[in-house]
Amino acid sequence: MTINYTTLLGLALPVTGTESGTWGDDVSLGITDYIDIAVAGTNNITNDLDITFSITNGSSAGSNIVASPNSTTAQYMQLLCTGARTAIRNINCPESSKMYVVNNSTSGGYSVVIRGYSAGPTYTTGVTVVNGEKCIVFWSSVASDFIKISSSVINSFTGILSSANGGTGVNNGSSTITIGGNLTFSGAYTTAFTVSGNTSLTLPASGTVTALGNTTTGSGAIVLATNPTFAGTGAITLPSGTTGQEPGSPVEGMIRYNSTTKQFEGYSEVASVPGWYSVGGSSINNDTSTATPVYPLFAHATSGTAQIVYTSSTQYEFTPSTGELRAPEVISTNGFMINGTTVSTSYTIASNNNAFSVGPITLNSGVTVTVSSGQRWVTI
């Protein structure tokens, strides 16, 4: 008997006039079975190892089709990668015209790489299928490598987002869009692009996203290069967390809502002490313990929001622990200097200071007034 084989799928080609009485096995085991796996067969790859495929020729012996899982037969249509992975694994395929549907459903977070191999062996760069991705790859004689033509992960998009090339771009429901590489929207938007519902948009650790002139870099950050406009009458929700949940390695310009202080806060490195500061107004702290003089602040207006505050410098000082006010001079424009008639807390008139009071003056029980040597307290 004489049988030849096709170069791409290894299908049996019995020579005319041979195979008398064996045609049934030749067709079933050498042609039909191989066409079946080439069109709809699934090779379940479970091993945490690299695997190399080869074109196995069909024969009436039926011994060349290795049953899945972990078949090394290159003719399968679908490559289902399951099980745990401890590293990136390579699937080496013959450098011949072939298309594969690849489903990386492994655990461990590692990619698989579909690459070509030839004698030597030498390997092409191949195409990466990230964990959780489902895609179609094929051998390109132009690129001399495997190329990805369709994927559940958006690796690259360039063009006009319109109904003419894929619909409105609306993604609803509890699904996830993961960008594994570069995403570019260029041209005019003829319909709205919306990511809505319980949908998450995950950016890569590297790569860029460009839309209408705004460029986004990786590391999961969206950084608009130009001034954005947010339409509608709704609101933007910022990240929210307690003081203890502030980022451990903050970057200047970060902004968040502090659920502990109930204030918006931003991180500044310009201030004398870098840290998180209230945004939109200063926080109020009832200070009664500071014993050194501080500078009172003055607002630019008597109502509304104080957009500008002024410091008195050393001309006017306040000591929170004692309640003392110090000034070079006090001018009463209405003609009155008012003092109480009861001394309720003990006080010392320090050196280089005198005091006067309009009496009568009553000292509460246990209260003393100490006048330093050489100084005076005058009651009128």
The set of residues, in sequence order, having a beta carbon less than 8 Å from that of 293 and lying 6+ positions away, is 317, 318, 319, 326
Query: Which parts of the chain register pLDDT below 70?
Result: 1-2, 12-13, 15-26, 28, 58-67, 153-227, 271-272, 281-286, 300-301, 303-308
* End position of a domain, from candidates 151, 183, 203: 151
44 & 79 share domain: yes
38 & 126 share domain: yes
DSSP conformational letter for 17: T
What's the pLDDT at 174? 44
Strand ranges inside 224-359, DSSP E: 240-241, 255-258, 263-268, 275-278, 297-299, 309-311, 317-319, 324-326, 342-343, 347-349, 355-357
91 & 18 share domain: yes
What's the pLDDT at 37? 85
Q: Is residue 327 part of a domain?
A: no
121 & 228 share domain: no
CA-CA distance, 55 to 76, in Å (whole number)? 10
* End position of a domain, from candidates 136, 151, 166: 151
161 & 134 share domain: no
What's the pLDDT at 365? 95
Asked if 79 and 45 touch (Cβ cutoff 8 Å), the reply is yes
Token pair 């945004």 is found at 279
Q: Is residue 287 part of a domain?
A: no
CA-CA distance, 165 to 206, in Å (whole number)? 27
pLDDT digits (tens, 9 = 90+) for 322-335: 888 888 888 889 99
DSSP conformational letter for 95: S
Q: Is residue 53 part of a domain?
A: yes
pLDDT digits (tens, 9 = 90+) for 267-306: 988 756 788 887 876 556 667 777 887 778 777 667 665 6
What's the pLDDT at 43? 93
Q: Is residue 136 part of a domain?
A: yes
Nearest to 312, CA basis, from 327, 290, 330: 327
**Residue 37, Cβ neighbours under 10 Å: how many?**
19
71 & 119 share domain: yes
What is each CA distance from 171 to 136, 198, 217, in whole angstroms? 21, 10, 23
What's the pLDDT at 15? 67
209 & 95 share domain: no
Structural domain span for residue 113: 3-151
195 & 57 share domain: no
What's the pLDDT at 290? 78
Q: Is residue 330 part of a domain?
A: no
Total domains in the fold of the chain: 3
134 & 165 share domain: no
* End position of a domain, from candidates 151, 184, 216: 151
| Entry pTM | 0.45
Sign of the CA dihedral with 277 first, then 278, 280, and 283 last: negative
CA-CA distance, 75 to 73, in Å (whole number)? 6
Q: Is residue 147 part of a domain?
A: yes
141 & 160 share domain: no
168 forms beta bridges with none
Q: Is residue 271 part of a domain?
A: no
347 & 229 share domain: no
User: Degrees (nearest 5) of the Cα angle 18, 20, 26?
Assistant: 80
Q: Is residue 28 part of a domain?
A: yes
227 & 341 share domain: no
What's the pLDDT at 144? 94
- From the number of C-beta atoms within 10 Å of its C-beta (0-12, 13-18, 19+), residue 365 rates as exposed
